[in-house]
Structure 1
Amino acid sequence: MQITASDRWSDRVIQRWRWILAFWVLASVLLFWAAPKWDKIAYDGDFDYLPAEMTSVAAGKLLDEAFRQDRSRSEIVLVLGRDHGDLKESDLVVGLDLLRRLHHRLGEVCWQNAITRFGYEQGPIDEAGEAGPWLRQALDSFNHAIDIDERFYESITDQLPDQEPTLVQPRLAIAYWDRATLLERIGDPENSAASDFQDALVLVPSIKTDVTPIQSRDLSAWQSMMDVLSWNDPVIGSRLSKPGARLTVVQLRSELAATSNITTVEAMRGLLSEVLNDSSVRTEPGLRLEMTGSAAIGGETLIAARDAIRYTESITVVMILLILITVYRAPLLVAIPMVSIGCAVVVSTSLIALLAGWSLNETVPWLDVRIFTTSRIFIVVILFGAGTDYCLFLISRLREEAGKYPWPEACRKALSGVTGALLGSAMTTVVGLGMLWIAQFGKFHYTGPIIAICLLVGLLICTTLTPALLRALGPGVFWPSKVLQNTEPPVSLLGQGTSSQSATMGGGVWSWIALMITRRPWLAMGIGMVGLILPGIYGLVNESNVTYDLSSQLSSTSGSRRGFRLLADHFEIGEINPVTLLLVRPDAVPREQFKKEIKKLSDTLYQQEGVATVRTFSDPLGDFPPNREMSILSSDAWKRRALQKHRIAQRHFFSTNAELSDRLARLDVIIHGDPFSNETASLVSALDQKLNELAADDDSVWKGSKVYLAGTTPSIIDLRSVTLSDNRRIKIAVVLAVFVVLLLVIRRVMLCVYLIATVLLSYYATLGLTALFFQQAYGSEFVGLDWKLPLFLFVILVAVGQDYNVYLVTRILEEQENLGWRIALRRAVAKTGGIITACGLVMAATFFSMTSSAWFPQIAAWFGYHSGTGVGLKGIIELGFALGLGVLIDTFYVRTILVPSYVSLTGRLASSGDAKTAVSHPDDSQGNA
């Protein structure tokens, strides 16, 4: 008998089981101890991981270089409004309460930054020093807070609360105290500090002991605050005011998907809640105070992802436990897979986190590993699903062998018998996911390979630790069941004296299915194909019907979506999502000439289709288009001059970078329409083309200029371009890679081609059914499936979907060594039917657990337990549903009908590696009965 690599592997594992147990315990402890926490090194967002050569990425880097400290990278927009009718005078009391608190908080942040970042302790404000601008903004913010507080108090003098005064109610006593303290530090020639101290003590006599020193206050959630722009500003307020709503814009330095935005959004929610609790009683019901904007959407998306990870991990463990209990009804057989997979999760995630930490800190210079918040969901789900499958197959084979051989030998033979199938099955997934490495888009590029690495770790553990545990515990693992000696009569090579029933494992549903398929393979294949082709056509047609709308990721009940709808009811959506145009001239020109050229360019852009407003240094809010004329003495002229001197204009449109001074022109363009829509993308692309034509025109003053576009819409244009290109290349690469693995494992060219074809058909059918389901589930809110779904679904289904085909086909090859092809097929289907079905249910259950954020909070609430925010992440929910559905289709449809019917039709399975025409076996006459 030939000794194979699987035999040698199983011999070493079973002989050295004690060393293996000790190794994995030690590895788990050391890696868990050494690895950094996942959320400390995880990246997020989508736009940040576009290729560096994309226009929006280059524009972002240029903005960082040109404006450094003064660049706002995201914002929270606070909307005070009513659904119907105009705001009432009493409504503005709530707005004033909000603004006084926000300006004070901004002052705290700026002052603390001057202390902690630049070492300021005491002394006059040095405007040229690093701490100077922070101190100046802190003092200005405290002034604004106190001015607004006085107006607020005047509005509520007839409605003063009965409770004891606090630092913020009814007066903002802490603002007086902080301004006095700051004035004392910077020098107070007018002796205003003493008056502020006295006012603060009158408002709250215990304030001296109640207030924490500025450097000791916990302002971590607010550290990214840069400025507060509001409807109350006498210069820009008109742009943020409508009869039915008022806007307040909190500008942040953090990117929209920065993890720090989680705490900022949660802190802002708390502040809004306090304002409404304290002040909404002073106006009529129906007033709303909502939060939206890029940072709010990004923060809520991260919070939803965090909740989704927690739900998915918990529900996955519960589902696996329930399935294992149902399958085995043996405590140890439930415990062994859970211990093995738990070890796999700890080891693999710790290993990846350790590698990512080394990459981030440049401990290993050539190492380039990044992990993302949502990557952990895929790792946990695939490890639990695939790991449980591996354990189920090993234990199922062990149950067979334990009836024939002593326990150590049974363990060895079981491991040897399944190692090849497990390796072939795992490699289809590993290679398929690994092909994502060729993607240009960063999230694809990094996520696929790290999941593949984790799966390899899971395979290694399931083929070492799991058999070692089984070997250590002995036959008692089957308790309360017992291992029964196999009394099935041996099957002759010629099949003499063997009935069809014994040859098909004694009847049962899987024997019946095998019998029916081998009797009527054409009918089975025809019905099977038709069942998938119809939804597959729908999936193929709608494959590109996806959405890149980041806000649509959140459910309609999320705070940022509610705020977005309220904002859209009263304002142009593009107002908070301008397209930033950057033109860099080859050489600098005099400032006044440069301003004139920018003005002419602005007038030209107004003629471009879709352009609503152009904001420039001379018109910071875009209130004065070319057709709006005014006299020098008009109020509009005064307003325009005031806008040009406003702090927004002073720092926003011209770079202070010496290399870019009087070379870089910045214009913000408001485009009509939804920034996420395809129509708006077309308008922006046309705008980009127009600017590049100017830069190429020999007669243009902008000849030779470099053109960059930044903003939400340009980023989406680049994201769509990159991901569509990635999709095409990755799909081809995955299909070819998986085909090669199948060919190496099965060695039947046409069978491998057919297996690939069935999984592709399964993918398109799954995509079509998923689109139909969510069209019904979301109704009018459905704008398309998440843009990441088709690619992840394709890669995982094509890779994972082959697992069960590999299990079945390798068992057919094994059985054919002693049987004719038809009886081998029936026996393989009967032998593997139950266990493959259990594995499919396990994998589907783990994928469906990704949908738990859509239903678990509601179920928990029924029992009085409130978990998380209750805001689901649609992309994860849709992908979890699609993957679970796809696995079920592969398990109950492709593997059960399409694959056996094809094998039955061809009748070609040779025991060697060469394909040959099957010769009718003496048993075939009985098998066809």
Structure 2
Amino acid sequence: MLADFTERLARFVTERWRLMLALWITATVVLFATAPHWKDIAYDGDFEYLPERMTTVASARILDEAFPGDRARSQIVIVLGRKATPLDKNDLMVGDDLLRRLHHRFGEVCWQRAITLGYTGGAIEQAPEPAQRWLTRALESLDHCIAVDQRFYERFADSVPDLPPTLTQPRMAIAYFDRANLLRQIGGDDQQASNDDRDARILVPDIETLAIPIAQRDLTAWASLLDLLSWDDAVLGSLLTKPSARLAVMQLSSELAATENINTVESVGEILDQVRSYSLARIPEREGRAEHLELEMTGSAAIGGETLIASRDAIRYTESITVIMILLILTLVYRAPLLVAVPMVSIGVAVVVSTSMVATLTQWSIEGVVPWLDIRVFTTSRIFIVVILFGAGTDYCLFLISRLREEAALAEWPVACRRALRGVTSALLGSALTTVFGLGTLWFAQFGKYHYTGPIIAICLLVGLVVCLTLAPALLRALGPRVFWPNVVTPDETTTRSLLSVASDSDSKAARRSSGLWEWIAIVLTRRPLTAFLLGIVVLAVPGWYGWIHEDSVTYNLSSQLDTDAPSRRGYRLLSDHFKIGEINPVTILMVRPEDEPREILKKQLKSLSDLLYAQPGVVAVRTPNDPLGDFPPDREMGLLSSDAWKRRALQQHRVAQNYFFSNSTRFQDRLARLDVIIEGDPFALKTQTLVSQIGQTLNEIARDPNSDWAGSSVYLAGTTPSIIDLRTVTIADNQRIKIAVVLAVLLVLIAVIRRLGLCLYLIFTVLLSYYATLGLTVLFFRGIYADQYVGLDWKLPLFLFVILVAVGQDYNVYLVTRIVEEQRKSGWLSALRHAVSRTGGIITACGMVMAATFFSMTASAWMPGLLHLLGIESDAAIGLRGIIELGFALGLGVLIDTFYVRTILVPSFVALMGRWKPKPTKAIDR
């Protein structure tokens, strides 16, 4: 049945090659023209794709409903500080330069948001209710901006550079201009508006022309900004102040890895650069002090945004380096321009068609065009698609061309094309299907990134397979024998100098030289198969054991994915030098009662719950309606008339505390109580996760206690640490499930293709051994590279490495074994094995190098910028993403081990042993 299919396919493609070319050209043009851009439909993030049953997902839904439009999902923390010495007045002047710019931008955002919510003019009280609060905030922020601007200029007046004035330098002229316009719109103080207008025109005479109306300003990058808290706040300032550092916190509505955070992080970076070049560069250095004043940003959104930027850079470098490597390898292998062009054109078409098709299907899924369709793509998905398509697609083309070279030496071109395609189709189908089914099993994962990414790559690989079975042979059929130019291959003689030359049935000396190495390897293996087998297993078993014991030694620390010199990592270190990291990453606890309760009673019950939480290990502070900053633990006494009592009352009335701890929504009013717990330690650390899990267990026990004030309540935890806990729980379960599914899927495909159970089980064993050996060597390599900064491999690496290596790693085994089957039809087992190894040795090696090169291209963001700099080529500095770099290295190493070790030693030696043990060796392997 398979033979009939391959014969019909080969005949159809080679006889109707013009139709094939026309169909693929049409499909490429139409799909490319109509498909959405990948970046427009790509998703990102990790926590957003946890199963619905996880507590952090449920808590996110409750927070969205209970606090609509006000929930901060991430934040950018800007740190101004020195390593040790206190900040002086010049340092604080730089801080004022920062604050005046940030407060003006926040005022713009609030004003524009009010317009979006329906405000068209008139008094604040007459505006739609949702817009009233934002108008008030806009005016407050502009007031604050101008007050800080005046203070800044008093300190900076003697240092003003001799530069033409702008809207923001040396004074915030635009802030005066905006406040004047806002006061006129809301019917505010006319005198103040006139004074502001006059001051703005004095600072920048043509400001009317330069300033864009507020409704037309492009504030897309700042649209998620919900609040701005700083050390300058009269009430909250103490929380954000240390002798050697100050903090400004931007609360954002976007998730930490939302794609819009890229623009936000870059825009905040531009403001920091403006401050550094304008005021920071002009403060005098302190005598005898080696340390410098630092201005950095960090926080969840900064880390998430830079991770996305790193992904974008990784895609850019990976795609370009992949193409360059494939071109170089094909050029070295073939030394024939048309033979280089055929694979490149075919794979280019496969990439365009598959990515366009997937992007279109994803858009249909998002928009609900097809109700049952559920597809999502991620920014990093494109890396895997490009790498695997170029690697596997080039391999498919190499095998087709290699077989065509053999057949062209024996028959006329049309017949040779048909025979070549027929001869490799079954091997290509078996090879591709192992990868497709292996990747497809990720559909059973519960974690969204696994669930969607594997099948998407599998679909694209299927498109690549179809292209290589139709378009590539059609191109070869159209070009004719001149495709080998400047070499010549005819039915009469073979005079090729390609590295992929394969010996024909003739005894040409050139052919013998090209396959001599592999003939020698085949002879050695078949003479001493047991020695080769045992020695081969032992050599891989040592690093395999190391990989086995370190398989779970991974890190879920998002910040550790970035280079140590990434801006957010620098900011993180500066922040941790002066503040407890847990203070900006609290664990949010939601207690949802089954019935309504008067709010005053809820406050009293929260007080007793707070006292209980303070008794839990690792708890530093508990923020409640009575104590919004967690400054007053149970053992801290406070007099009624003390300054602390005044501060506490002021905090309870601050906008941050208002509507934060209790919800005013109909469903949750007087039912939901919210409190934040500060845990000692790194929020990503396993120890912190253990402490948070214990707190969750304690709260659930209280909710189950019928005598408790919180009996029957539902308990939800939100925040970075609870999200990490849920992510670890889900992915560990997925790892176990998917590994079993991948092995079974690949095994079934192997059995269907090879039809020999013992050999198939052994092939699975070899790739498993190769996987653990690769993992062990990868751990050792990056331990050495990162040294004391090594905290473990990226948590996604073991599963992706397992799935891709087990699936892709079988390709070369399938190629070799199917060729052995073919040769056994003409000779005995020993001769067939030797002939198959010598015939496929060169081509499989070339394919393995191609695949390894494409995987290694994923590491380009780590070394390409430095290489370009050494060559004197200017390029944008890339932010390395360690997860991609580590995975690219591991996959490349694994393919090399499969190519040069497993396929060269372990598989042939085992087949030789099987042949010796069988009473009828010629039937050891049969279709």
Give the TM bin, normalised by the shorter chain.
over 0.9
The residue aligned with 1:694 is 702
The residue aligned with 2:451 is 445
Distance in 2 (CA, whole Å) between partners of 1:483 and 1:439 is 50
The residue aligned with 1:752 is 760
1:815 equivalent to 2:817? Answer: no
1:412 equivalent to 2:381? Answer: no
Counterparts of 1:329-348 in structure 2 under 5 Å? 329-348=335-354
The residue aligned with 2:611 is 603
Cα deviation, 1:842-881, whole Å, max 9, x if unaligned, reads 0000000000000001111223333333210000000000
Residue type of the alignment partner of 2:652: Q
Distance in 2 (CA, whole Å) between partners of 1:635 and 1:34 is 66
Closer, same or farther: CA 499–50 of 1 in aligned 2, 3 Å? same
Contact 2:412 2:491 in 1 (8 A): no
The residue aligned with 1:476 is 482
Residue type of the alignment partner of 1:300: E
1:169 Cα deviation (Å)? Answer: 1.7
Cα deviation, 1:342-371, whole Å, max 9, x if unaligned, reads 000000000000000000000111100000
1:253 equivalent to 2:253? Answer: yes
Q: 1:290 aligns with which of 285, 296, 305?
A: 296
Counterparts of 1:36-75 in structure 2 under 5 Å? 36-75=36-75
The SS at the match of 2:668 is: coil
Residue type of the alignment partner of 2:357: L
Distance in 1 (CA, whole Å) between partners of 2:338 and 2:151 is 71
Contact 2:119 2:127 in 1 (8 A): no
1:644 equivalent to 2:655? Answer: no
Contact 1:304 1:872 in 2 (8 A): yes
The residue aligned with 2:391 is 385
Cα deviation, 1:3-48, whole Å, max 9, x if unaligned, reads 6221111011111110000000000011111111100010000000
Contact 1:789 1:879 in 2 (8 A): yes
Cα deviation, 1:892-918, whole Å, max 9, x if unaligned, reads 000000000000011079xxxxxx632
Counterparts of 1:2-41 in structure 2 under 5 Å? 4-41=4-41
The SS at the match of 1:613 is: strand
The residue aligned with 2:203 is 203
Distance in 1 (CA, whole Å) between partners of 2:765 and 2:216 is 64
Contact 1:606 1:625 in 2 (8 A): yes
Q: 1:886 aligns with which of 883, 887, 894?
A: 894
Closer, same or farther: CA 688–866 of 1 in aligned 2, 3 Å? farther
1:838 equivalent to 2:846? Answer: yes
1:106 equivalent to 2:103? Answer: no
Cα deviation, 1:492-540, whole Å, max 9, x if unaligned, reads xxxxx99999999985100000000000111111221111000000000
Distance in 2 (CA, whole Å) between partners of 1:452 and 1:345 is 13
1:310 equivalent to 2:294? Answer: no
Contact 2:183 2:189 in 1 (8 A): no
1:219 Cα deviation (Å)? Answer: 1.3
1:520 equivalent to 2:520? Answer: no
More divergent stretch after superposition (120-129 vs 63-72):
120-129
1:487 Cα deviation (Å)? Answer: 6.8
Distance in 1 (CA, whole Å) between partners of 2:611 and 2:152 is 42
Counterparts of 1:24-423 in structure 2 under 5 Å? 24-126=24-126, 129-189=129-189, 191-285=191-285, 286-423=292-429
Cα deviation, 1:204-243, whole Å, max 9, x if unaligned, reads 2221222111111121111111111001111111111111
Q: 1:665 aligns with which of 641, 664, 673?
A: 673
More divergent stretch after superposition (314-323 vs 29-38):
29-38
1:582 equivalent to 2:584? Answer: no
Residue type of the alignment partner of 1:878: E
Distance in 2 (CA, whole Å) between partners of 1:812 and 1:651 is 74
Contact 2:100 2:149 in 1 (8 A): yes
Residue type of the alignment partner of 1:417: G
The SS at the match of 2:421 is: helix
The SS at the match of 1:648 is: coil
RMSD (Å) for aligned C-alpha atoms: 1.9
The SS at the match of 1:464 is: helix
The SS at the match of 1:454 is: helix
Residue type of the alignment partner of 1:165: P
1:619 equivalent to 2:621? Answer: no
Distance in 1 (CA, whole Å) between partners of 2:188 and 2:889 is 65
The SS at the match of 2:876 is: coil
1:628 Cα deviation (Å)? Answer: 0.7
1:417 Cα deviation (Å)? Answer: 0.1
Contact 1:127 1:133 in 2 (8 A): no
The residue aligned with 1:917 is 919
Contact 1:84 1:244 in 2 (8 A): yes
The SS at the match of 1:907 is: helix
Mark the runs of 5 or more structure 1 residues left unpaired by the alignment.
489-496, 910-915, 922-929
1:617 Cα deviation (Å)? Answer: 1.1
Cα deviation, 1:626-659, whole Å, max 9, x if unaligned, reads 1111111000000000000000000321112121
Contact 1:675 1:681 in 2 (8 A): yes
1:244 Cα deviation (Å)? Answer: 1.1
1:190 Cα deviation (Å)? Answer: 5.2
Residue type of the alignment partner of 1:42: A
Counterparts of 1:780-791 in structure 2 under 5 Å? 780-791=788-799
Percent of aligned pairs with the same amino acid = 65
Distance in 2 (CA, whole Å) between partners of 1:160 and 1:3 is 83
Distance in 2 (CA, whole Å) between partners of 1:84 and 1:407 is 78
The residue aligned with 1:796 is 804
User: Normalising by the residue count of structure 1, what TM-score does the alignment of the two structures yield?
Assistant: 0.96
Closer, same or farther: CA 17–822 of 1 in aligned 2, 3 Å? same
Closer, same or farther: CA 8–596 of 1 in aligned 2, 3 Å? same
Contact 2:142 2:175 in 1 (8 A): yes
Distance in 1 (CA, whole Å) between partners of 2:529 and 2:157 is 87
The residue aligned with 1:912 is none
1:119 Cα deviation (Å)? Answer: 4.8
1:901 equivalent to 2:903? Answer: no
Cα deviation, 1:34-83, whole Å, max 9, x if unaligned, reads 11110001000000000011001111111111111111111100000112
The residue aligned with 2:691 is 683
The SS at the match of 1:779 is: helix
Contact 1:81 1:287 in 2 (8 A): yes
Contact 1:504 1:830 in 2 (8 A): no
Residue type of the alignment partner of 1:445: H
Contact 2:409 2:491 in 1 (8 A): yes
Cα deviation, 1:61-107, whole Å, max 9, x if unaligned, reads 11111111111111100000112322122100010110011010001
1:919 Cα deviation (Å)? Answer: 4.5
1:133 Cα deviation (Å)? Answer: 1.4
User: Normalising by the residue count of structure 2, what TM-score does the alignment of the two structures yield?
Assistant: 0.96
Mark the runs of 5 or more structure 2 residues left unpaired by the alignment.
286-291, 495-504
1:122 Cα deviation (Å)? Answer: 4.0
Contact 2:79 2:246 in 1 (8 A): yes
1:544 equivalent to 2:552? Answer: yes
Residue type of the alignment partner of 1:223: A
Contact 1:505 1:827 in 2 (8 A): no
Residue type of the alignment partner of 1:347: V
Residue type of the alignment partner of 2:75: E
The residue aligned with 2:500 is none
The SS at the match of 1:564 is: helix
Closer, same or farther: CA 572–3 of 1 in aligned 2, 3 Å? closer
More divergent stretch after superposition (76-85 vs 762-771):
76-85
Distance in 2 (CA, whole Å) between partners of 1:283 and 1:243 is 18
